[in-house]
Amino acid sequence: MKTTAPIRVCIVEDDVVIRNGFSLLIDGTAGFRIVSTYNRCEEAIENLYEDIPDVMLVDIELPNGMNGIEGIERIKKLRPKTNVLVITVYENDDLVFKALCAGAGGYLTKSVQPARLLDAIRDIQDGGAPMSTNIARMVVASFHKNKNSPLTQRETEVLELLAVGKSYTHIADDLFVNKETIRTHIKNIYWKLEVHSKAEAIEKARHDKLI
């Protein structure tokens, strides 16, 4: 009887607790093997041909050196057969689409349940595209937006985050910009939508299918 080789998994995650937790879960489950773990994309890329991973779990926001999106792009160029699964705390659509365009085959948040993570690794290895429920909704919703929106992509992102109740500070953190930049975007949104408050902007944007 032929024995199926375990799925070779590599992790790129700067948080040592999360990295070790994922590693113990995956390596301790039949059918999986952790080949290496790293806290920087550069190290993972340097050892890519030695590790020969089937699946790589990659965080997007890495504080040291190359970010995850650039790392994904490099990984896919060097080894197209490796499947990349993003594991992150971020759920804004700009990062989701950048990651998918870079070559990621799936996108999960770090709150994912252990069983779901293992299923996602199997799924992506079998040709699937696993995504957290919120991420999947976001991708689907993007196809129903008004294509004639007067708002730029960034302004749309800001308004979407406002609509889910995020503060200027949290939006700035999510989009990796300063708070004054967010204030400028919001002024532009108000001007383009001809409104004078956050509530009016959100109501009009939803009515016109801008978000």
pLDDT digits (tens, 9 = 90+) for 10-64: 999 999 999 999 999 999 999 999 999 999 999 999 999 999 999 999 998 887 7
Cα-based distances in Å from 159 to 102, 136, 172, 200: 25, 19, 12, 11
- Please tell me whether residues 16 and 88 are part of one structural domain: yes
Task: Tell me the residue range of the domain where 38 lies.
Answer: 7-139
- Please tell me whether residues 20 and 55 are part of one structural domain: yes
pLDDT digits (tens, 9 = 90+) for 178-198: 999 999 999 999 999 999 999
Whole-model pTM: value is 0.66
- Please tell me whether residues 110 and 155 are part of one structural domain: no
Residue 103: inside a domain, yes or no? yes
Identify the band that residue 140 occupies on the pLDDT scale cut at 50, 70 and 90: low
Chain-centroid distance, C-alpha 125: 18
- Please tell me whether residues 96 and 195 are part of one structural domain: no
Residue 2: inside a domain, yes or no? no
